[in-house]
Amino acid sequence: MYKLKYILLKVMGYLLYFTGIYYALDKIFNNKGLYILMYHRISDRNDNSYFQDISVKKEEFEKQLQFFTKKYCCISMSEAISIIKQNGRMNKNYVVFTFDDGYRDNITHGALLTSKYNIRPIVYITAGKIETNTPIWTEIIDYVLLNSKKKHIDIDINGIKIKGNIKDKKGLYAFADEIKGTLKKVPQKEIRKHIIDLNKICETNIDTINNELLNWESIYELKKMGWEIGSHTLNHVNLALETENIILDEIIKSRELIENRLKCEVEHFAYPFGKSCHYNQFAINEISANYKSAVTTILGTNTCKDNVYLLRRIAIGNHHSLCDIKVRLLISKIRNVLKFNR
């Protein structure tokens, strides 16, 4: 089902693009706006199909940089917030590059290219994981399944039975995605238990996992290269499921930790997972009191006077060609005009 969804969307996108309908709609919906692009990883692996949702190959990333620097005004997140707060309408198409989680390849691959094209991205780091040098739980699930020698796995998560055939990467990817989707609906204190159960079933050793996140030294280097540093909580939790005390820690202590480590102000926030079901009004209120902006993962464009604590983004992964991205940009504009963004 997961694979079919992407195939159908890709076919529809190509039909839209190559039949000329794209260009007609692009002229009709010619409203200017702010596009916030969401990346995670810049990969140099020969086969990163398993990480297709969160990884973009270096050569594809450079093509995207070339496209955006020619067609759009590339700005920082801080500049974007100033523009959104102004009166009137935007007279240009702006774009901001954002990276979530804080992976090491952001500096080893991404930073060289963004510097080449004078791009100033923002990376939202999961500060607690950086501090303890431990991977995010979604990464642990990837590791466990990739290193299991089993071909079929059944697991029960709070009464939800999930069965997976992981003898090939396609099946493994779909199974991992289903497990992650289920665990996103579970408070963080329960996630560890389910990961331990999965580790036992898969007969792997999570203690040997290679953490692929940045460290404080490399984050400081990114800062010196012009990158902004934002908060992505301490532990990458679903804020809508946690107690108010935990929410406060995830929002405030993550900012304090980054500021103490880097000796700089942290003004911007990214909601983990980023859909409206992943945060609540209490979280929004606390973020508003401690930051100047917050980004979601809701598809869409941003315009002047929009709520800067519910900014929309466009996710880009390995399965998105430049044609796909152009279509997603157009869809974002249409959603904005038709008020489908909220």
Q: Which one-letter DSSP state was computed for residue 309? A: T
Answer whether 96's CB lies under 8 Å from 36's CB. yes
**Structure confidence at residue 52 (pLDDT):** 57
Q: Which residue has the tokens 């809508």?
A: 240
CA 211, CA 218: separation in Å to the nearest integer? 14
Look at strands 228-231 and 73-74 and give their pairing: unpaired
Based on its alpha-carbon atoms, the radius of gyration of the chain, rounded to whole angstroms, reads 20
Tokens standing for residue 132: 């303890």
**Structure confidence at residue 114 (pLDDT):** 97
- pLDDT of 2 > 50? The answer is no
- pLDDT of 341 > 60? The answer is no
Fold classification of 32-132+213-337 is TIM Barrel (3.20.20)
Closest CA to 183 of 231, 136, 232: 136
CA 78, CA 51: separation in Å to the nearest integer? 30
**Structure confidence at residue 45 (pLDDT):** 65
pLDDT: which is higher, 5 or 299: 299
Mean predicted lDDT score pLDDT of the chain: 89
Q: How many CB atoms lie within 10 A of CB 91?
A: 9
The string of pLDDT tens digits covering residues 281-321 is 999 999 999 999 999 999 999 999 899 999 999 999 887 88
Q: What Å distances lie between residue 320 and 53, 54, 315, CA to CA?
A: 9, 11, 9
- Domain borders along the chain are 32-132+213-337, 137-208
- pLDDT of 334 > 60? The answer is yes
The structure's pTM equals 0.92
The string of pLDDT tens digits covering residues 14-72 is 666 667 777 777 777 778 999 999 999 998 765 444 455 788 999 999 999 999 999 99
The string of pLDDT tens digits covering residues 211-255 is 889 999 999 999 999 999 999 999 999 999 999 999 999 999 999
- pLDDT of 100 > 90? The answer is yes
Please state, for a pLDDT cut of 70, what percent of the chain lies above it: 92
